[in-house]
Structure 1
Amino acid sequence: MSDLHRLSIAWRSDLHRRTRRSDLYRLSIAWRSDLHCRTEVRLSIAWRSCAVLRSSLASFISPEISFMVDLKCTSFFNLEDFHSILNPVYMGEVQELQLHVMVEEDKEAKLPERGSVSDETVAQRSTNFRRWIRIAVYTFLVLSGQAAATLLGRQYYDKGGKSKWLATLVQLVGFPILLPFYCIQLSKSPERETIIQTERPSFSVLASIYVSLGLLAAADCYLYSVGLLYLPVSTYSLICASQLAFNACFSFFLNSLKFTPFVLNSLFLLTISSTLLVFQKDDSTDTTDTSKGKYAIGFICTVAASAGYGLVLSLQQLAFKKVIKSKTFTAVLDMTVYINLVASCVIVVGLFASSEWKSLEREMEEYKLGKVSYVMNLVWTAITWQVFSIGSVGMIVEASSLFANAISVLGLPIVPVLAVVFFHDKMNGLKVIAMLLAIWGFLSFVFQHYLNNSEEDKEAKQGGVQNEPPVPVRRWIRIAIHAFFVLSGQSVATLLGTLYFKKGGNSKWMATLVQLAGFPVLFPYYCIPQSKKTKTVKIQTKTPSFIVLASVYVFLGLFIAVYCYLYSVGLMYLPVSTFSLICASQLAFNAFFSFFLNSQKFTPFIINSLMLLTISSTLLVFQKQDDTENPTGVSKGKYAIGFICTVAASAGYGLLLSLLQLAFKKVVMSETFTAVMDMVIYPCLVASCVVFVGLFASNEWKTIPIEMEEYELGKASYVMTLVWIAIAWQVFNIGALGLIFEASSLFSNAISVVGLPIVPILAVVFFHDKMDGLKVISLVLAIWGFLSYVYQHYLDECQSKTDDRRTNVVSSASSTGNQ
């Protein structure tokens, strides 16, 4: 029986790839050499178009049994059927079997015309190309928005900004700039049509999703603002890379993210990376006059914000998958605008509740760059954050929340570079090495992806398999666009947030509010006439009720508000580099939550990615703090607070991402960009409201005028810093949600973590942060882990296509047999 087993394997492994008659003859020789039985069997084989193999055992005569068999199969030979036919031969005492193979032409089964195959191939390539274009655009938005928002945020703090609530608000309140996009008529290509029509979720369902995500976004933005207030841009950005791990953790729970040995390894390394930051030394190299306590607070807040961001991305992906179920730009706008609206409301509440609003006028007056610069800083910060939001949400739609986060993390090195240019941050060897390792891991994934695509193209040219799904080039384009949004928005928002704190801004509630209140910049999208062509989905689903959506949006908005606040606290007390590296832990949180919420699958590549990202953040523990690294004089107590808040924010962000993914999957169930925009806007709206409450409840609003007056860059710069921080955060939100929509929350977080090294580089350029080797190594490890995850994501996609082809083959064979 062993000979027959080998024969069946040879049959499957060769015939489904060989189409030339000479190959079939060679196989017949192999059969004769393996089978030595007396019974004579005739096997007729006809090769059909598109790798459809028709074979029949014309006669099977033995001393004990005689029967006729006609076996048909598509793309590969059915081993079980083959064995069931041959097994009876061994039931008798047959000593020899001679197999004669006759290859016959099947006149009825002609190969498809060359032109039709070429046209199909061109169409598939066009679809894939468009998707990659969208991904590229979202990637650009993420990268640009992140970088600009980060730099502007850093300028806000450097030039006198002190309001954490305002710094948080500008991350969210910029969503109105997106509203004009609703008026733009967007044509929907056929490939964006889903196979199954679904009903739009009810208003209550969408509202609940947007509100929930908005609350989470508000909290996360606040934590980021705190972290950016006390951390240098480079440190802040590198810590933020941990958000990818958080996103992976949350995606594990929310988006069914699977954990594999590589994922566990990655999570382990990410955890170590964040832990090592606790042991870093504080010396004269800290030129920001940030005390150890404030540095610790900023560190903690940044880590917490990273975790929260990972959660938000996972939740957004979940929302797209389960609720919105739409992969349109309108969905991306909705996710961005509504979430930011909610978050902005939350941050505004926090701003007034904390009484920080009272100090804003003074802050504007004391802004070093003047009042105009103060205003412009806030404005452009809000805008850049909205750009980042669009890219992030779009990347979630095109890929996943983890992919969106990964793009964001990938763009992090941009911020440190810009910080070196504009803020005179110091760029040391360790950060460079870490960045290089991350880039190397990314290139490894890209190369593997290229090999896989080459293999698919080769099979397609050889005939391939009938009805094989096209390579999602357009989807990858969308993912790239969302990734760009994540990276750009995150980098810009982080730098601007740091600028806000460095230049006199000290309102944590304001810093949190700007992370959410930028969603109005997304409103123009709803004014854009939408094409009636819709993307069909595989399953008909009812539109979520208004109550369900409202509950989702409110919940997410509250969650966003919390993690934004934690991020603001962490950013306030931690250097940007430390803050950013701590934020990298959010990827582990995201993976953890995605595993349970989104059924995230973990593979060795994912584990390795998470591990490396964790190590990247941990290495910062051993770096020395001097005047250039911790220039704000943050005490040890505040540094600890910032550290804790950043870690909490990272965990919260990871959970938020997983929840977003779950909302997309279970509630929204809309595969449109509008769903992404709704998920961005509504939760941000809720989060903004929460932050507004916190702002006034804490009485920080009373200090906002003073803060504006005392802002080193002037009132105009104060305002513009907040504005651009908010815009940048919205850009990030769009990109992150887009990635969750397209891939998963873990992937979106991975992109975000990859972009974290950009912030330290920009901080070195603009804020003169010190870039030591440990940070470089940490950055490299984080990027390496992200690339490993991306490669696993690709492998999973290929496996899914293979499973679909096999299912189609079985169905086709069964249908043919019934006929």
Structure 2
Amino acid sequence: MNNNTTSHHQFHDNNGQDQKGISKKRYMFLLFINYTCLFVGSVSSSLLSKYYFNHKGSSKWVSTWVQSAGFPLLFFPIFLPYYLFKCTQRKPFTRFTSGILSLSMFIGLMLGLNNLLFSWGNSYLPVSTSALLLSSQLVFNLILSVIIVKQKINFMNLNCVILLTLSSILLALGSSHDRPQDLTRANYFIGFLATIGAGLLFALYLPIVEMTYRKVYCYAMVMEMQLVMEISATVLASVGMACDGGFAEMKRESREVFDKGEGVYWATVVTNVVTWQLCFMGTAGTVFLTCSLTGGICMTALLGMNVLGGVLVKEEFGGVKAVSTVMCGWGFCSYVYGTYVSMMKHLDPRKQMNQATEMAQGQDQGQAQVVTASSDHHLGPGV
């Protein structure tokens, strides 16, 4: 991962020229890697979390802990490029100020709370209902992005938000009978509120992260900040686990509670740790390379894929859900295509050169006019 990679909105600070010298191929490759991590991680982690609860796993703190405990995996993209591959001259954590450290820790605690709310909701609600409620974050993400990072609203992103929102409403109409028979009304209500809270907190988390990334000048620093965030979230989850019995409770649960056996239990936990880390790495990279709204749209679209995945954990998939999923995919694909076309225009070196030339010519003409006006002023009005 090259440290000269910079976010999309940082490419044109100097008369339209690329200050970092990033190539189009390198940027697109890195963006593709992050999209892949986000897709694989988001769908797999949600289904594995539901699998854990479906087979009598019951600890919300265990489900919260696995979402951030994979932070050691971030050591690979942070340290290997410098110490092993020698493909960068920047030493890890260079220019990582105390301000960035404090901000990363605060955002990490926010992320930890979001993880807890998600686990709480996921323990009670079906995958499809949880996906529906979480998708409500997209509208709030758009509003908060406009307020916090001055996101511009255009037809492309507004059309996508409308389609995904309508998809969620349609899904709601077809999910009213999805509540498990053994789930009490009180627990269903708790899961409902917790999932709504997780969606709103994530909608706030994305633009705050984007604003923070504007202080960052390379992709490696994004991974370093992500490491600090995940450590903070893990500390919060570990404290909660300690109050709930600690790791001894995990051992008891694996042997006596989980109905698939101890081996499957630990395989589920370890796999979930890895997939959640892929999800958050992909989210961080996507926000850095594009914007927070794109990250929110990707997450919402992937929630639609979770509805398809719900079939794997024995949930119904009828015609209403099928139409909703198609609308979700339609909105997402249209947004991605529009973003790609816009990105190609910005990354086109010929266009950048033309913009720079036009800018330079405009400056030269302006200077010439100033010189002429100054000469006329000195010669006097009679000339």
In the superposition, the TM-score normalised over structure 1's length comes to 0.40
Matched residue, 2:198: 649
Say if 1:632 and 1:512 are closer, same or farther in 2 by CA, change over 3 A. Answer: farther
Partner of 1:694 in structure 2?
240
Residue 551 (structure 1) aligned with residue 102 (structure 2): yes
Alignment-mate amino acid for residue 499 of structure 1: Y
Compared CA separation, residues 471 and 727, structure 1 to 2 (3 A) = closer
Question: Aligned with 2:73: secondary structure?
Answer: coil
Unaligned stretches of 5+ in structure 2?
11-15, 369-383
Unpaired segments ≥5 residues, structure 1: 1-185, 194-325, 328-396, 401-465, 536-541
CA distance in 2, matches of 1:398, 1:707: 46
Instruction: With the length of structure 2 as denominator, give the TM-score of the two structures.
Output: 0.81
* Corresponding residue for residue 786 of structure 1: 332
Distance verdict in 2 for CA 1:467–1:596, change over 3 Å: closer
User: The residue matched to 1:716 in structure 2 has which SS?
Assistant: helix
The CA deviation at 1:712 is 1.0
Contact 2:134–2:196 (Cα < 8 Å) also in 1: yes
Deviation at residue 700 of structure 1 after TM alignment: 7.2
The aligned counterpart of 1:525 is: 77
1:611 aligns with 2:124: no
Q: Is the 8 A contact 1:399 1:739 kept in 2?
A: no
Q: What's the RMSD between the two structures over aligned residues?
A: 3.1
The alpha carbon displacement at 1:749 in A equals: 2.2
d(CA) in 2 for partners of 1:739, 1:796: 16
CA change 1:817–1:608 in 2 (3 A) is: closer
Is 1:763 paired with 2:310? yes
Cα distance in 1, alignment partners of residues 173 and 363 from structure 2: 63
Are the aligned partners of 1:612 and 1:783 in contact in 2 as well (CA < 8 Å)? no
Residue of structure 2 equivalent to 1:507: 59
Shift of 1:774: 2.3
What is the CA–CA distance in structure 2 between the aligned matches of 1:697 and 1:602, rounded to whole Å?
45
Contact 1:570/1:643 (<8 A) preserved: yes
CA–CA separation in structure 2 for the residues paired with 1:579 and 1:689? 26
| 1:700-729 per-position Cα deviation (integer Å, ceiling 9, x unaligned) | 766433322221111121112111111101
Deviation digits for residues 753-810 of structure 1, max 9, x if unmatched?
222232222221x212101222223223333332343344346546757688445403
Letter of the 1:621 counterpart: A
Larger-gyration structure (1/2): 1
Q: Give the counterpart of 1:679 among 225, 229, 232.
A: 225
Name the CA shift for 1:786/1:693 in 2 (closer, same or farther; >3 Å): same
- What letter matches 2:242 in structure 1? F
**Does structure 2 conserve the Cα–Cα contact (< 8 Å) formed by 1:509 and 1:700?**
no
Seq. identity, %: 26
Q: What is residue 815 of structure 1 aligned with on the other side? A: 364
Aligned pairs for 1:367-766 within 5 A: 472-530=24-82, 531=86, 533=88, 543-546=95-98, 548-623=99-174, 629-631=178-180, 633-665=182-214, 667=215, 669-672=216-219, 674-699=220-245, 703-709=249-255, 710-764=257-311, 766=312
- 1:772 equivalent among 288, 313, 318: 318
Residue 554 to residue 612, structure 1, CA distance change in 2 (3 Å): same
**Whole-Å Cα distance in 2 between the matches of residues 735 and 479 of structure 1?**
9
For 2:88 and 2:313, the matched residues in 1 are separated by 48
Structure 1 699/780 Cα, relative in aligned 2: closer, same or farther at 3 Å? same
Tell me, what secondary structure is at the counterpart of 1:516? coil
Taking the aligned partners of 1:813 and 1:553, their CA distance within structure 2 comes to: 42
Aligned equivalents of 2:190 and 2:80: distance in 1? 44
CA contact (8 A) 2:206 2:292 kept: yes
Question: Following the alignment from structure 2 to structure 1, what is the Cα–Cα distance between the partners of residues 138 and 221?
Answer: 24
More strand by share: 1
What is the distance in 2 between the residues matched to 1:512 and 1:399?
Answer: 33
What do residues 326-378 of structure 1 show as CA deviations (whole Å, max 9, x unaligned)?
64xxxxxxxxxxxxxxxxxxxxxxxxxxxxxxxxxxxxxxxxxxxxxxxxxxx
Structure with greater helix share of residues: 2
Q: Is the 1:398–1:482 contact (alpha carbons within 8 Å) kept by the matching residues of 2?
A: no
